[in-house]
Amino acid sequence: MIRLKSDALLVCEIEPQLGGCVIGLWFDGVPVLRSTRGPLATAREAGSYPLVPFSNRIARATLLWQGTSHPLVSNNAPEPHAIHGVGWQRPWTVLDSDDSFVMLACEHRADAAWPFAFDSSQTLRLRGNALEMTLALTNQSGQPAPAGLGWHPFFVKRPGSRIAFEATGRWEMGPDKLPTTRRPAHGLDADCAQLDVDHCFDGWNGLVQLRDELLSTRIHSNLRRLVVFTNASRDSIAIEPVSHVNNAINLVAAGADAGDLGLHTLQPGETLTAQMSIAVERVQ
């Protein structure tokens, strides 16, 4: 476990061996992300984890790519889908670190979970009152490969928690948790307590404001799609900057436009990068 500190009372704990996940993030002792002090069984229980080489679900764990069907691993039983890539299930290696910074790397060779080799790196840095993160993916296979990036942070949902962001569209989901149709939407400006949402928003402007009785948090990213997930029974809200719409690879195979969905195709040796920051301050 790696513990980072900033002069602005921000503390971040990271577990490289467990999917390169963020165990927790605290500002002056107050949890910003869902935090567990005990041992975690999986990165899915952590405060945040990287999404690489895709986010959300690939329908029925079958990748349809350039005329070929690739069976994947269904990794979230009892769902039949493949979910959130493979990075969260792999150990990451520490390349460099100091008191406020760490760089991690993960090397993937083609296997049943993902048929394209890639290298991924992520950096996490505390700078003042912000956690700054980068994530990169390089195609190491000998052919063009689909690629996507993102993060899956769970923010603490306290009394008075309110989320606000701007977007232009929202993807509706069917009972199988796969996207069906896109509808115009202005984003959200809502109290989190009774919010029931599990959707991908596109046309996002890259900024989310989350505020409660203790903290004011700004989530910023260069990505332009955002998955938001919570309901009244949960004490956290997932606010996930992502590069592409859920199940984008198979939607493109069915005739949708890759650019509209945010799906990237990386040529051999080509790299995709993303940035995200979480800035926190006390409510006055």
CB within 8 Å of 249: residues ≥ 6 apart? 54, 58, 63, 64, 65, 146, 263
Rounded mean pLDDT, 121-126: 98
Peptide bond into 179 cis (omega under 30): no
Q: Quick check: 35 pLDDT over 90?
A: no
Q: Residue 219 — very low, low, confident or very high, per pLDDT cuts 50/70/90?
A: very high
Distance CA 45, CA 236 (A): 12
Q: What pLDDT does residue 206 have?
A: 98
Q: Quick check: 37 pLDDT over 80?
A: no
Which has more confidence, 49 or 37? Answer: 49
The C-alpha angle with vertex 106 and arms to 270 and 12, in degrees rounded to 5, equals 115
Q: Quick check: 283 pLDDT over 80?
A: yes
Q: Quick check: 184 pLDDT over 90?
A: yes
| Domain range 2-282, CATH class | mainly beta
Q: Residue 22 — very low, low, confident or very high, per pLDDT cuts 50/70/90?
A: very high
Q: Quick check: 80 pLDDT over 90?
A: yes
Phi, psi of 45 (to 5 degrees): -95, 0
257-281 per-residue burial string, b: 16 or more CB within 10 A, e: under 16: ebeebbbbbbeeeeebebbbbbbbe
Distance CA 278, CA 129 (A): 8
Q: What percent of the chain has a predicted confidence (pLDDT) above 90?
A: 95
Rounded mean pLDDT, 33-61: 92
Rounded mean pLDDT, 127-151: 97
Q: What pLDDT does residue 7 have?
A: 86
Q: Residue 8 — very low, low, confident or very high, per pLDDT cuts 50/70/90?
A: confident
Rounded mean pLDDT, 14-39: 93
Radius of gyration of the chain, Cα coordinates, nearest whole angstrom: 18
Say which amino acid occupies 28: D
Q: What pLDDT does residue 257 have?
A: 95
Mean pLDDT, all residues of the chain: 96
Which has more confidence, 36 or 93? Answer: 93
Q: What pLDDT does residue 19 have?
A: 97
Distance CA 231, CA 228 (A): 10
Q: Residue 77 — very low, low, confident or very high, per pLDDT cuts 50/70/90?
A: confident
Distance CA 119, CA 138 (A): 5
Q: Quick check: 230 pLDDT over 90?
A: yes
CB within 8 Å of 112: residues ≥ 6 apart? 71, 72, 73
Q: Quick check: 196 pLDDT over 80?
A: yes
The C-alpha angle with vertex 120 and arms to 118 and 124, in degrees rounded to 5, equals 175
Q: Which long-range contacts (CB under 8 A, 24 or more apart) does 29-37 make?
A: 30/214, 30/215, 31/156, 32/155, 32/156, 32/215, 32/217, 32/278, 32/280, 33/153, 33/154, 33/155, 33/156, 34/154, 34/155, 34/156, 34/235, 34/236, 35/156
Residue for token pair 């467990």: 18
Q: What pLDDT does residue 73 have?
A: 95
Residue for token pair 């009372």: 9
